[in-house]
Amino acid sequence: MTNASTPTTTDSVCLLVGTMKGAFFLWSDDARENWRLDGPHFRGQSIYALAFDDRDGRSRTLAATQSMHWGSTVRSSDDFGRTWSDAERQNVRFPAESGLALNQIWQIRPGRKDEPGVLYCGVEPAALFESHDGGDNWSVVQGLLDHEHRTKWQPGGGGLCLHTILLDPANPDRMLIAISTGGVYRTEDGGKSWSARNHGVRAQFLPDKHPEFGQCVHKVVHHPSRPERIFLQNHWGLYRSDDWGDNWHDIANGVPSDFGFAMLMHPHDAETVF
C-alpha cells in the first residue's frame, strides 16, 4: 500500500477505518485487488465511528474522535481528510441540567435521503443526539433521555453505550436504537416516546432470562430494501425480527458460537447477513 491524500480518477471504492490510533481512508477501484492507504488522521486518538454523507451533493466525512485533551467530538471534512473542522468546538454536549457528561460517541448515522441536513449520533452514557445542519450543531433527543428505564440500564463491558441507529426509509417517525445494556427501543413518533422491543431476546446473565429490557445487544442491522426485517447480534444469541422488533426469533442454528460483536448486511441482498 502507498499513501495517498485524495482519491484519483480510478478510485471508486473508499473504506473508512477507525482504530485506537487514528482514522484511515483505504482507496481502490472496482476490482478491489489493490488498495492505497491514507492516514492516520487524528494520530493517537481513538476513532469509534466514521460515516460518509453524500446527500445533497456533499462529500462529507464525519469522525467521532476521542482526544485526551479535547474529549469526544464530531469532526467533519469535505475534502476527504485534507482539512477537518475545529477540534476545540465541543459540538455534542448533554444539557447542563441533566447532570450527565459525554464519555464517547459510538455511532454517527446520516438521516434519510429526503432530509439532507439531518444526522444522528449515539453516545455513552446511552443517549441519542440529532443535528439539523449537517453536523455543526447537535441537540439531545429528550424523549429518550427522559425514559423511565434509564436509571435501570447498566453499563456493559464497553460502557453504557447507544451504538446502533436504524431508520425506516419510508416512515420519518420510526427509528430503532440499541443500547448495551438496555436492549432495543423503537419510536413511532419521531423520538418523543420510546418502547422496549426485546420480546424473545434472552439476557443470559440475569435471573430473569427474558426481561422487558436490560439485554446486552451488541449490534443490529437491516437492509433498506426490506427495513422491517432486522438481524440482531446479542451477548449470547443471534436473532431475526420480521416486524420491526416486535418479536425476535433465534437463528443461531449451526454457528460455532452465538456470541459476537460485528454484524453487517450484504449491500445488495436483503437475505444475507454476515
C-alpha angle 172-173-174 in degrees, rounded to nearest 5: 95
Domain count along the chain: 1
Decide if 152 is inside a domain. yes
Tell me which DSSP letter residue 256 carries: S
pLDDT given at position 105: 97
Tell me the whole-structure pTM to 2 decimals: 0.93
Decide if 92 is inside a domain. yes
pLDDT given at position 253: 84
Decide if 262 is inside a domain. no
Give the domain CATH number at 185.
Answer: 2.130.10.10
Beta carbons of 262 and 231 less than 8 angstroms apart: no
Decide if 221 is inside a domain. yes
Decide if 23 is inside a domain. no
pLDDT given at position 9: 65
pLDDT given at position 1: 39
Decide if 90 is inside a domain. yes
pLDDT given at position 5: 59
Decide if 39 is inside a domain. no
Decide if 105 is inside a domain. yes
C-alpha angle 141-144-145 in degrees, rounded to nearest 5: 80
- Domain carrying residue 113: 44-250
Which residue pairs, CB below 8 angstroms and at least 24 apart, start in 12-19?
14/52, 14/80, 16/50, 16/51, 16/52, 16/61, 17/50, 18/46, 18/47, 18/48, 18/49, 18/50, 18/63, 18/64, 19/46, 19/47
Rounded average pLDDT per 10-residue block, the chain, 274 residues: 58 93 95 94 96 94 92 94 86 95 96 95 98 94 98 92 96 97 96 97 88 94 95 93 96 85 92 92
Longest dimension (CA), the chain: 58
Beta carbons of 139 and 95 less than 8 angstroms apart: no
The residues that bridge with 186 in the sheet, in sequence order, are: 176, 195
